[in-house]
Amino acid sequence: MYWIEPEYLYVDGALRTGLGVLVSADDGAGRVVSVGRRGHDHFPVVTLPRRALLPGFVNTHSHGFQRGLRGWVQHADPGAADSFWTWREAMYALATRLDPEAFEAVTALAFAEMVRAGFTTVGEFHYVHHQVDGTPYADPDELALRVAAAARRVGIHLVLLRVAYERPGFGQAPNPRQRRFYDRDPDAVLAAVGRLRDHGIEVGLAPHSVRACSAAWLRAFARAPGVLHMHVDEQPGEIEQCLAEHGRRPVELLDECGLLGPRFTAVHLTHPDAAELARFHAGEAAVCACPTTELDLGDGFLRAWELRAPLSIGTDSHASIDPFAELRALEWHSRALTGRRNVLPHEGVDGLAATLVRIGTAHGAAALGVDAGVIAPGQRADLVALDLRRMEFAATRLLPALVFNGSPAAVADVWVGGRHVVKEGRVPGGEALALEAERALRRVAAG
């Protein structure tokens, strides 16, 4: 056990002085034992002057390997029509090239960048399962286990969202570039989930989208244990396909298939109509927004101020890995779209900032079914220390400035389950991980 005592501790939506946290262990499974004033016990003490200690951020939606696309998809041939769908072809080109070693290396780089940015838990929406020709690996869970290995190397807490991918889309011919994704039937997916749980991995189930799963598959997953995540209403094109196949919009279909409920997280929900939104709210499901990816891919803007569902954040394609940028985008986009200011629900002088912190922490933990996201007894000791000496925080009201002006550069130290995984802004071994990912990507590109 050890005691962490920062200058400011974030509890109950506010920064408070004079408090510390007793942590049970430094091994990655450590929990918060108590929060309060330091007693006369003889635990080792970590003091953090000029630091604010917050719960670690939760990255609810990640495709780690897509980190390999960064910088390579920020252009298009002049005159060419570039969109989400052409980006997807570039993503498929990468997905069809990566061997298990490269897949692990790039995923580990993404996870390392996440912890350095203050994320302590990641929900990895994992959909590349098989060999390049579509046949299973000798161990059918090879790539899922690579994701788990990448998380262990970095020390981030992983929830693996095992994706179910049936088909290219309603009435579409099988796409050879999706061969690594397809499952045989829903039972095969549920069996994979069971095997991964037997490996000790925390697993949720993720029907990819209404494009990739028929109604029969969706119904088969309605009673699966654990959390359910799914891409919903990201692009107008997928809604049109859903209307063509089912005569109803995606949220209506999900409701009829029995998927909506408190365990269900809709990723994106960028283009629901009013009827879908009402049905979604009635179903008490949650939403994960990925604002920087939604910008990068041209998806559109989440109408966050109209949501009554719990909202969390994800960095998705890793166009950017920065929890602060995702959080302020939710409020800032809402302002630009409404012409008003301070529009997300809040109470009191630091209430809007507290709302955004809750979206970045507790709501993400709830969406992934993990005991984290608040600094309280019994919760995982997932903690982030922010450096208050930075010039952008000088002469400010602190909590709103931390959210609206925070960045990965402000993250000084990170603990995941009590284990110290970022030290003074550095991930131990991070340079080696970066080099390994660069070499792996060059190797598979060369063929």
Identify residues 88-107 at the interface with a second copy (CB under 8 A). Answer: 106
| Subset of 304-323 contacting a second copy (CB under 8 A) | 319-321
How large is the C-alpha radius of gyration of the chain? 21
* Options 233, 255, 316, 413, the catalytic residue: 316
- Which of 138, 173, 274, 394 touches a second copy by CB under 8 A? 394
Which is nearer to a second copy, 203 or 297 (by Cβ)?
A: 297
Torsion of CA 8, 11, 14, 19, to 10 degrees: -30
Phi–psi pair at 164, nearest 5 degrees = -105, 125
- Which of 35, 132, 409, 443 touches a second copy by CB under 8 A? 409
Q: Least distance in Å: CB of 332 to a second copy?
A: 4
**Per CB under 8 A, 375 contacts a second copy:** no
Name the one range near a second copy by CB under 8 A: 68-76, 136-144, 178-186, 277-285: 68-76
| Subset of 420-439 contacting a second copy (CB under 8 A) | 427, 430-431, 434-435, 437-438
**Per CB under 8 A, 282 contacts a second copy:** no
Which is nearer to a second copy, 166 or 436 (by Cβ)?
A: 436
Which is nearer to a second copy, 56 or 406 (by Cβ)?
A: 406
| Subset of 163-222 contacting a second copy (CB under 8 A) | none
Q: Tell me if residue 268 is catalytic.
A: yes
- Token reading at 19: 């408090």
Q: Tell me if residue 333 is catalytic.
A: no
**Per CB under 8 A, 112 contacts a second copy:** yes
Which is nearer to a second copy, 273 or 431 (by Cβ)?
A: 431
| Subset of 139-168 contacting a second copy (CB under 8 A) | none
| Subset of 331-350 contacting a second copy (CB under 8 A) | 332-333, 335-336, 338-343, 346-350
**Per CB under 8 A, 67 contacts a second copy:** yes
Which is nearer to a second copy, 202 or 294 (by Cβ)?
A: 294
- Which of 147, 230, 401, 416 touches a second copy by CB under 8 A? 401
**Per CB under 8 A, 298 contacts a second copy:** yes
- Which of 40, 42, 75, 223 touches a second copy by CB under 8 A? 75
Q: Least distance in Å: CB of 60 to a second copy?
A: 20
* Options 126, 268, 271, 333, the catalytic residue: 268
Q: Are 215 and 191 in contact (CB under 8 A)?
A: no
Q: Least distance in Å: CB of 16 to a second copy?
A: 17
Q: Least distance in Å: CB of 304 to a second copy?
A: 13
**Per CB under 8 A, 400 contacts a second copy:** yes
Tell me which residues are annotated as active site: 268, 316
